[in-house]
Amino acid sequence: MLDDRAKLLLKALVERYIADGQPVGSRTLSRASGLDLSPATIRNVMADLEELGLIASPHTSAGRVPTARGYRLFVDTMLTAQREQLQAPSLPPDQPQKVIANAAQLLSNLSQFVGVVMAPRRTSVFRHIEFLRLSEKRLLVIIVSPDGDVQNRVVFTATDYTQSQLIEASNYLNTHFAGLAIEEVRERLKGEVEKLRGEIATLMQTAVQVSSEALREQEEVVISGERNLLAVSDFSSDMGHLRRAFELFEQKAQLMRLLDISSQAAGVRIFIGGESQIVPFEELSVVSAPYEVDGQVVGTLGVIGPTRMPYDRMIQIVDITSRLVSNALSHNK
């Protein structure tokens, strides 16, 4: 455990480094912390912090920089309670797509980093479903939505079904479940699987799985402000870092998974320097929060920026924006 003196010095070092982007030396730290300590004492405490893996010493400088672990401790235990009040504009509640686009832009403008918003989840309903036998243990599943959108999926099965079994299963599914939301079908299936013959039950579960996956793929991530990273010295000095960050934004499926994890927890979540595994970059951090429509969590939004970011301000930006989006999209104003 850190004593109060070590905590104060770590906090001062993180805040100084966030502000300047330069390794912090013991003399600077003495002034920044406001503690009346000798340079030798400060050096000893810094050596202890380095041993604990909270700060590191770049070989090009005598100063120290925070590690991802140091940032994590700073975020968890040391952020000040007094935060500046953000003047965030309201979001027009006219069209959900416009609200989402405006929110991504707002996050980017306020943070000066990258704003990301996962568009609200839609309810998946199918009008018609069909199974076609392609070859042994290989099927084509065709799902038609109420508005005529067609999704095709090739699936591999443990059993080799005949075409007549596939027709029987799709007829049963279309007769009993057409027009219902996929989640409702999933619930009903739990009760009915016992009564159905094995092959029909298995095919129905396959259909539900395919429908859910197809819906997830249609979900959208809106990204704004990628170019802001060009102005961050941590990235502009290393094009490899920048390239990896831009590759992440192109792979929206990765971001979807991260935002999906975030939506399962209340309030603001912070992933520092690769903690999420999904964004496994030491130099990137994500601050995210879920937003609601009429009390139901339907999506997530957040800010992606360098590990060296002012976390207390980012937390406030993300928190306020999630409330604005919730209000703009909800009907019970």
Domains delineated in the chain:
4-77 (1.10.10.10), 96-121+220-329 (3.30.450.40), 128-218 (3.30.390)
pLDDT for the residue numbered 124: 62
Q: Among 277, 271, 304, 312, which Cα is nearest to 118's?
A: 304
Rounded to whole angstroms, the Cα distance separating 257 from 279 reads 10
pLDDT for the residue numbered 48: 93
Q: Are strands 284-293 and 296-306 parallel, antiparallel or unpaired?
A: antiparallel
pLDDT for the residue numbered 88: 60
pLDDT for the residue numbered 82: 43
* pLDDT tens over the chain, length 333 residues: 788 889 989 988 998 888 888 889 888 888 888 888 888 899 899 999 999 999 998 876 678 999 888 998 888 887 754 445 555 666 766 677 788 888 999 999 989 999 999 888 666 667 888 888 888 888 888 888 776 777 788 888 888 888 888 888 888 888 887 887 766 777 777 666 666 666 667 777 777 777 666 655 555 788 999 888 888 877 777 778 788 888 878 777 677 777 777 777 778 889 887 777 666 677 889 999 999 888 888 889 999 999 889 998 899 899 989 988 988 888 654
pLDDT for the residue numbered 36: 81
DSSP string, 39-53: HHHHHHHHHHHHHTT
169 secondary structure, DSSP code? H
pLDDT for the residue numbered 165: 85
Q: What are phi and psi of 271, to 5 degrees?
A: -115, 115
pLDDT for the residue numbered 90: 67
Handedness of CA 192, 197, 201, 204 (dihedral sign): negative
The answer to whether 173 touches 204, Cβ cutoff 8 Å, is: yes
Rounded to whole angstroms, the Cα distance separating 52 from 69 reads 9
The answer to whether 231 touches 225, Cβ cutoff 8 Å, is: no
Q: Among 157, 127, 126, which Cα is nearest to 140's?
A: 157
Rounded to whole angstroms, the Cα distance separating 286 from 114 reads 10
pTM of the model: 0.67
pLDDT in tens, 236-273: 777 787 888 888 787 776 777 777 777 777 788 898 87
pLDDT in tens, 54-106: 999 887 667 899 988 899 888 888 775 444 555 566 676 667 778 888 899 99
